[in-house]
């Protein structure tokens, strides 16, 4: 019985926690902490069970739940996860839970802070498990609201902006310094994030409405649209570009990326973790879920362009990160570069590369979450993220933080033994046959990543201790260490033993590859089986149990 409602439990538990927090005074910090941690923890436990219980041999969309929301409009609250969505649900719940503890010392409006964090976590989870395009878009839009509030209410101005204000520079609050990202205010970062993502959302919504109207099916059901997708062939290229351009900004692909590092730098630690770990990944996920699944022919036709853009992402992000002096800007631009590797794996469209790209999505969520959590703790102790101002030598004062920072950095630049290495390796192996030039360039760019991470580690932790940092203390309490140990353990454990995750991911990727190989034919066996088990809308709400396809998904062999 619990399995029949597992997805709803994972999705709505944080919302229930956020609702209860409205009833608690900010003066009762212990109760606020307890409610937030308990409900985020329950969602995490459910997400861990989801990945563990997912049957990768059967594959397909499992743990389905279906409730008619509007029969007249063809909208249903339809949830389900495949091998691509299940790991990202876990990533969202993991970072939400870790963010609760990273934000334990927030003093200003703690209750409201946790409400926003729980809503943001629930919204991203909703995108990863929605099989109805209406609710997928609803949860996507919902995720933008907490990020705006995080930036404007709890964000920070960059050092460059504060220096300009102190000097009385009239350009400090002017759009004339549009490209001086390291001199932005938190209000500028919030508005830029909102405008970029909202404009993209409008374009994506137009594409979704056209699909709804032109299909003639009177439904937003992704599985039904996939089964009868031949109705959309005449305008498939138009649908593809509307959806891709609509969700490309949140995925931070060049040239729609500039909002992202600014948002990282201004956001509080927990918001940066969610931003880099799962909010940005919504772009890749929605492109795979909608474009790859519904428009396979157009996807294959236009992926060579994406393969060029992703190389620009990699080099641009890496070179700009090398020039930064702010810890969050270094990590933020590094994340922009990583998005290029993921898009390269997506563009190659084979089993190895696409599995590697999805694996990289989860791996990067853990590594970026860890690094931004560490940046938050360092800022809490030193009151600065400007690397030269730290004076170096922090390792002597905070050895535990230094060790975790080295682990996070090593994971980020692809050190063997960390999850990112597995993802990068699979992307390179799968992309070599399709885009050898882009693969060589992407592999060469890893040296840039090594350079700025090694330099940042040296300048922050292994220089001469600065007397001005004598007050700095290491993370010693369970509250401070728990989120760091959790994220570091995930990236190391599944870096050494990636098979369970790879098996789950391949079960989802195999359906995509099957559709790529026969887009003009009838639905692939996996899709046909899903449709056979998918619930039929009715006037009265109905909840379906697990959906098990009648045939195993296409084997990875030969792709």
Instruction: Please write the tens of the pLDDT for every residue from 99-138.
Output: 999 999 988 889 999 999 999 999 999 999 999 999 999 9
Dist. CA 394–CA 463, nearest whole Å: 8
Return the pLDDT at 531: 45
Is residue 121 in a domain? yes
| Global pTM value | 0.87
Percent of the chain with pLDDT over 70: 85
Tell me how many degrees the CA angle 174-264-361 measures, rounded to the nearest 5.
140
Residue 91 confidence (pLDDT): 95
pLDDT (mean) for 500-506: 91
Which candidate, 395, 378, 396, places its Cα nearest to that of 387? 378
What is the per-residue pLDDT for 172? 57
Residue-wise over 224-262: b if at least 16 C-beta within 10 A, else e?
bbbbebeebeeebebbbbbbbbbbbbbbbbbebbbbbbb
Residue 557 lies in a domain: no
Q: What is the pLDDT of residue 126?
A: 95
pLDDT in tens, 263-301: 777 888 899 899 888 988 999 999 999 999 888 888 888
The mean per-residue pLDDT over the stretch 31-35 comes to: 95
Residue 474 scores a pLDDT above 80: yes
Residue 555 has a pLDDT of 37
Task: Tell me what the mean pLDDT of segment 224-238 comes to.
Answer: 77
Q: Is residue 381 assigned to a domain?
A: yes
159 lies in a domain?
Answer: yes
How far out from the chain centre does Cα 221 lie? Answer: 23
Describe the chain by its helix, strand, coil percentages, rounded to 5: 70, 5, 25
Predicted local distance difference test score (pLDDT) of residue 179: 52
- CB distance 210 to 192 below 8 Å: no
Three-class secondary structure of residue 63 per DSSP? strand
Does the pLDDT at position 89 exceed 50? yes
Tokens of 84: 């691509």
Instruction: Find the domain containing 50 and state its range.
Output: 2-533
User: What secondary structure does DSSP assign to 429-446, as a single string?
Assistant: HHHHTT-HHHHHHHHHTH
Q: Is the pLDDT reported for residue 20 higher than 90?
A: yes
User: Angle, to 10 degrees, between the axis of helix 351-382 and the axis of helix 327-348?
Assistant: 170
Block residue for tokens 């220089």? 463
pLDDT at 538: 44
Q: Is the pLDDT of residue 242 over 50?
A: yes
From 175-179, 187-191, 325-329, 463-467, the region with the lowest mean pLDDT: 175-179
Respond yes or no on whether the N-terminal peptide bond of residue 255 is cis (omega within 30° of 0). yes
Structurally, how many domains does the chain consist of? 1
Q: How far apart, in Å, are the Cα atoms of 60 and each of 30, 56, 137, 325, 357?
A: 43, 8, 22, 46, 19
| Residue range 91-101: mean pLDDT, rounded | 96
Domain assignment of residue 204, yes or no:
yes
- State yes or no: pLDDT of 547 exceeds 70: no
Mean pLDDT of 519-523: 46
Mean pLDDT (the chain, rounded): 84
Q: Is residue 282 in some structural domain?
A: yes
The stretch 408-427 carries a mean pLDDT of 91
For residue 144, being part of any structural domain is answered with yes
pLDDT at position 173 is 57
pLDDT of residue 471: 86
Q: If we measure between CA atoms, which residue out of 67, 173, 144, 66 comes closest to residue 534?
A: 66
Q: Is residue 107 part of a domain?
A: yes
| 416 burial level (CB within 10 Å; 0-12, 13-18, 19+) | exposed
CA distance 161 to 172: 6
């Amino acid at each position: 019985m619990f399995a029949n409602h597992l997805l709803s439990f994972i999705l709505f538990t944080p919302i229930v926690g956020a609702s209860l927090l409205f009833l608690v005074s900010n003066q009762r910090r212990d109760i606020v902490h307890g409610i937030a941690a308990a409900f985020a923890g329950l969602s995490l436990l459910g997400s861990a069970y989801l990945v563990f219980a997912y049957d990768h041999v059967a594959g397909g969309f499992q743990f389905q739940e279906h409730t008619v929301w509007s029969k007249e409009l063809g909208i249903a609250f339809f949830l389900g996860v495949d091998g691509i969505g299940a790991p990202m649900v876990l990533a969202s719940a993991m970072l939400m839970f870790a963010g609760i503890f990273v934000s334990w010392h927030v003093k200003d409006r703690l209750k409201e802070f946790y409400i926003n964090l729980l809503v943001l976590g629930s919204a991203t989870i909703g995108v990863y498990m929605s099989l109805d395009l209406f609710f997928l878009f609803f949860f996507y839009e919902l995720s933008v609201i907490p990020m705006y509030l995080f930036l404007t209410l709890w964000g920070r101005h960059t050092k460059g902006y504060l220096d300009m204000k102190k000097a009385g520079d009239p350009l400090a609050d002017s759009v004339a310094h549009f490209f001086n990202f390291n001199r932005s205010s938190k209000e500028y970062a919030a508005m830029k994030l909102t405008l970029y993502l909202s404009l993209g959302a409008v374009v994506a919504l137009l594409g979704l409405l056209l699909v709804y109207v032109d299909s003639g099916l009177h439904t937003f059901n992704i599985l039904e649209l996939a089964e009868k997708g031949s109705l959309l062939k005449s305008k498939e290229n138009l649908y593809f570009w509307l959806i891709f351009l609509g969700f490309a900004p949140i995925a931070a692909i060049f040239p729609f990326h500039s909002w992202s590092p600014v948002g990282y730098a201004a956001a509080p630690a927990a918001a940066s973790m969610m931003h880099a770990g799962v909010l940005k990944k919504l772009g890749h996920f929605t492109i795979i879920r909608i474009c790859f699944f519904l428009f396979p022919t157009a996807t294959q036709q236009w992926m060579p362009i994406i393969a060029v853009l992703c190389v620009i992402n990699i080099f641009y992000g890496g070179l700009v990160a090398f020039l930064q002096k702010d810890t969050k800007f270094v990590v933020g631009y590094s994340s922009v570069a990583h998005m290029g590797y993921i898009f390269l794996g997506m563009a190659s469209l084979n089993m190895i590369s696409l599995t590697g790209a999805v694996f990289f999505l989860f791996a990067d969520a853990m590594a970026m979450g860890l690094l931004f959590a560490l940046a938050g703790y360092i800022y809490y102790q030193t009151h600065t993220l400007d690397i030269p101002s730290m004076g170096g030598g922090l390792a002597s004062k905070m050895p535990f933080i230094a060790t975790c920072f080295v682990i996070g950095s090593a994971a980020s630049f692809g050190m063997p033994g960390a999850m990112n290495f597995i993802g990068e390796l699979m992307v390179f192996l799968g992309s070599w046959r399709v885009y050898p030039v882009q693969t060589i360039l992407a592999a060469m760019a890893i040296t840039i990543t090594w350079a700025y991470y090694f330099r940042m580690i040296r300048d922050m932790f292994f220089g001469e201790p600065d007397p001005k940092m004598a007050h700095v203390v290491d993370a010693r309490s369970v509250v401070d260490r728990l989120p760091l140990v959790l994220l570091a353990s995930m990236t190391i454990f599944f870096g050494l033993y990636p098979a369970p995750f790879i098996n789950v991911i391949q079960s989802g990727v195999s359906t995509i590859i099957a559709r790529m190989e026969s887009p003009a034919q009838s639905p692939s066996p996996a899709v046909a089986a899903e449709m056979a088990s998918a619930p039929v809308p009715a006037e009265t709400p109905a909840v379906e149990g697990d959906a098990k396809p009648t045939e195993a998904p296409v084997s990875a062999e030969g792709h």
